[in-house]
Each structure stands twice: as structure tokens, then as C-alpha cells.
Amino acid sequence: MKFELTEEQGLIQQSARDFAKEFLDPVAADLDRTGEFPTAIVKELAKHDFLGLHLPADAGGAAAGFVSYIAAIEALSRSCSAVASIVNNQAMSSYAIYHWGSADLKKKYVAPLIKGEIIGAFAVYEHGPTPGIGPDALTATKQDGGYVLKGTKAYVRNAGVANVYVVFAITDPADPKALTGFVVDATAPGLKVGPKHSTMGLKGCPVADVVFENVAVPEGAVLGTVKKGREIVTRTLALASIAEGAQTVGIGQTAVEHAAGHARERVQFGKPVGTFQAVQTLLAESKTDCYLARLALFNAAQLVEDGKPFETEAAMLKSFLARLGSKILLDTCQVEGGMGYSETMPIPRLFRDIAGTNLLDAPADFPDGVIAASIN
């Protein structure tokens, strides 16, 4: 067993770091302040192949493998996890359409998503307890050789800027557990995006509700098989959990490095605060947490790349790394004292971004059921 990136994976990680330093470091604080969608950066990401790392060459992807994709997400997150989250969201849409879409859907959407010509959104969540249940549930009623969609998807990333929505609806109200996937063009009459939510972190990655007011879609818009959409949701969200773990490790690593730099510079009682043992403990624990988190992260990514079951490992990552990430941010904030608490320093933004990352696609404690069920 060798826990090391291959030469090619290492090169991709390095090129993502170089990209992040050149394009993300100069704008990360501004994105956090303005919340503007970084259109020009998405185009650059596409030019550098970062939107197609996870897909094979026949899809127009870079065929770099899932480990490289995760290495790139971590590297981008070290500078700006809002942008990494946009990349992950784009990847979820292209992954689902590539794996479950018809030839026509693939042709229409996958290459343009990889090239950054269009933006994708992956919409599962509804305001009710689970998709398919509640007054807002997205329903798909068969009509005129297609379906009519009615209902609301809530908290959708990239909503408003997306050109295509991968959504999940119930086709049979008597069977609300059976979801069906649909690929819906943003221009479809009746599709309306609500106001952008004013969120705590991950600014620059917009979140809004999407309302479907009798949106007619053709039969060909169905993703995979009718009533089998939950399989698409489960697999795609499990992959997304690993990418969210990579975001956490990236954010945590930046926080540790920044706090260590601060501890070297900040002098109290005639000594750098980093010479005090209590401060060293906070830094040492945070660095150790990042190291162990990275091992678990790349182990899960390697399982995906090897075609092995990975769902339990993805759930453990989501649950464990979310807690670890929050602890790292609390501890590094403590190391930086009042100075680090200032909005002119990166820790407040990293803190907000960790909170958002913990909630993406499911709260961090939701996967606990998957983990518990895996114990023999």
C-alpha cells in the first residue's frame, strides 16, 4: 500500500495550485464580499481542463481519474472554496448526464459543460423532510408524449446562472420514494429562479430556489429509468461528499498555514506567540487533523477510481471531516486572536466557507445512518 499521488496526479495537483495562486488568490476576498458569480474564472477553469478531469476522453473529458479530480478540488479550495464548489457542482451535472443520459442528452450538454460554455445545477433538495414529500414536492405528470413539472427545488447551487438543471421529481404521488431524474433547459417556459439567498459563506457560488410552474419537458428529458432516480442521487451525492471533504481539507490547510505564520510574527510578552505551548498544541492538532483527513480523503477517492464500493467511506468522510474542519477553524481562529478575527484577515471567510461546506447537499450528520447500517 502506497499513499502517494502518482507523477501525473501530482502534476495535476500542482497545476491546480498554480491556477489557484494566479486566478483565485487575487479575487477570493472580493468574491466573498460581493458574492458575484465568477464567470471569467469558470472560463479559465475550462481552458485549463479543470471542468472535465473526472470524465473519460469519449465524453470530451481529460480522463485524469477521480483521485486527480479530488487533488484539484483540494488545491483550488486552499485559495477559494466557493470556486471549488462551483467546479464540483458543474461536475455533478456532467457526471449524471454522462452516466445516465440518452445519447441526445449527452451530445447536447456534456461537452458544453466541460468546456464551460454552459453552467449546470443539480437540484434534489425540497423544503419538505425528503424530496417527494410536502406541498412543494416536484411532481412530473405524464402529458402529450412528455411530462409537466410542477413544484419547487430549494437551495440550488448555480441557480440563476445555470443553463441546465438536473432535477428529481416524483411521477407517482402514491409512491413518493420513487424519484425520476430530468434534464431541464433553463429556458424552458415556466422555469423561474427565485431571489439569490443571502448566505453565510461560499459566496460567489449562488444559491436560490427554482420554481417549476407547469414546465413541459419531452420524454427524452428523462435521466436513466423512470422511478430509478434515487440511485442517481445516491451515487452522485456520495461522489460529491468526497469532493466536499477535499474542500474541507483545502480550507483547513490554508487556515493552519496562515495561523502558523501569524504565530511566528505576533510577539507577546517579548516572544512570538508560537513559542507558547498552548498555541503549539492548537497548531499541532490542526496540522495532524489535516494530515489524517487527507489520508481518508484520498483513500475514498482511490476506491472510486478502482471501481470499488465507496459509499460508506464517502459518508464517513462527510460526517467526520465536517466536525474536524469546524474544529480546525475554531482552533486556528484562537491562535490568531483578535487580529485573526478581523475581516481583513482570511480566517473569517474560511470559517464561513467551512460552515457552508458542512451543509452542501446534506447536513454533516445525515450520513450517519449509512455508516451505522454498514456495521456488521
Ligand X SMILES: Cc1cc2nc3c(=O)[nH]c(=O)nc-3n(C[C@H](O)[C@H](O)[C@H](O)COP(=O)(O)OP(=O)(O)OC[C@H]3O[C@@H](n4cnc5c(N)ncnc54)[C@H](O)[C@@H]3O)c2cc1C
Q: CB 320 → ligand X: shortest distance, Å?
A: 15
Among residue numbers 70 through 89, which ones bind ligand X (CB under 6 A)? 89
Closer residue to ligand X (CB): 129 or 307: 129
Residue 6 gets which letter from DSSP? -
Contacts of 243 (CB under 8 A, 6+ apart): 69, 70, 73, 84, 88, 91
Closer residue to ligand X (CB): 336 or 353: 353
Parallel, antiparallel, or unpaired for β 146-157 and 139-143? antiparallel
In angstroms, the CA 4 to CA 40 distance is 33
- Rule CB under 6 A: say whether 105 interacts with ligand X: no
- Rule CB under 6 A: say whether 276 interacts with ligand X: no
Q: CB 93 → ligand X: shortest distance, Å?
A: 10
Using CB under 6 A, which of the segments 40-48, 58-66, 250-258, 363-371 binds ligand X? 363-371
**According to CB under 6 A, which one of 141, 163, 199, 280 is a site residue for ligand X?**
199
In angstroms, the CA 344 to CA 205 distance is 21
Q: CB 45 → ligand X: shortest distance, Å?
A: 18
Using CB under 6 A, which of the segments 5-13, 177-185, 280-288, 355-363 binds ligand X? 355-363
- Rule CB under 6 A: say whether 356 interacts with ligand X: yes
Parallel, antiparallel, or unpaired for β 139-143 and 271-272? unpaired
- Rule CB under 6 A: say whether 155 interacts with ligand X: yes
- The terminus-to-terminus CA distance of the chain in angstroms comes to 25
Closer residue to ligand X (CB): 93 or 171: 93
Q: CB 14 → ligand X: shortest distance, Å?
A: 29
**According to CB under 6 A, which one of 156, 164, 210, 304 is a site residue for ligand X?**
156
Which of 149, 41, 56, 180 has the alpha carbon at shortest distance from 106?
56
- What is the CB-side half-sphere exposure of residue 75 using CA atoms within 13 A? 23
- How far is C-alpha 127 from the geometric centre of its chain's CA atoms? 20
Closer residue to ligand X (CB): 45 or 119: 119
Q: CB 96 → ligand X: shortest distance, Å?
A: 12
- Rule CB under 6 A: say whether 136 interacts with ligand X: no
- Rule CB under 6 A: say whether 123 interacts with ligand X: yes
Among residue numbers 206 through 225, which ones bind ligand X (CB under 6 A)? 207
In angstroms, the CA 217 to CA 42 distance is 28
Using CB under 6 A, which of the segments 152-160, 222-230, 258-266, 311-319 binds ligand X? 152-160
In angstroms, the CA 101 to CA 267 distance is 59
Closer residue to ligand X (CB): 209 or 336: 209
* Long-range pairs, 153-156, Cβ under 8 A, ≥24: 153/123, 153/124, 153/125, 153/126, 153/209, 153/210, 153/212, 154/125, 154/126, 154/127, 154/209, 155/125, 155/197, 155/207, 155/208, 155/209, 156/121, 156/122, 156/123, 156/125, 156/207, 156/208, 156/209, 156/210
Using CB under 6 A, which of the segments 60-68, 134-142, 211-219, 359-367 binds ligand X? 359-367
Residue 178 gets which letter from DSSP? -
- Rule CB under 6 A: say whether 106 interacts with ligand X: no
* Interacting residues with ligand X (CB under 6 A): 89, 122-125, 155-157, 199, 202, 207, 356, 359-363, 365-366
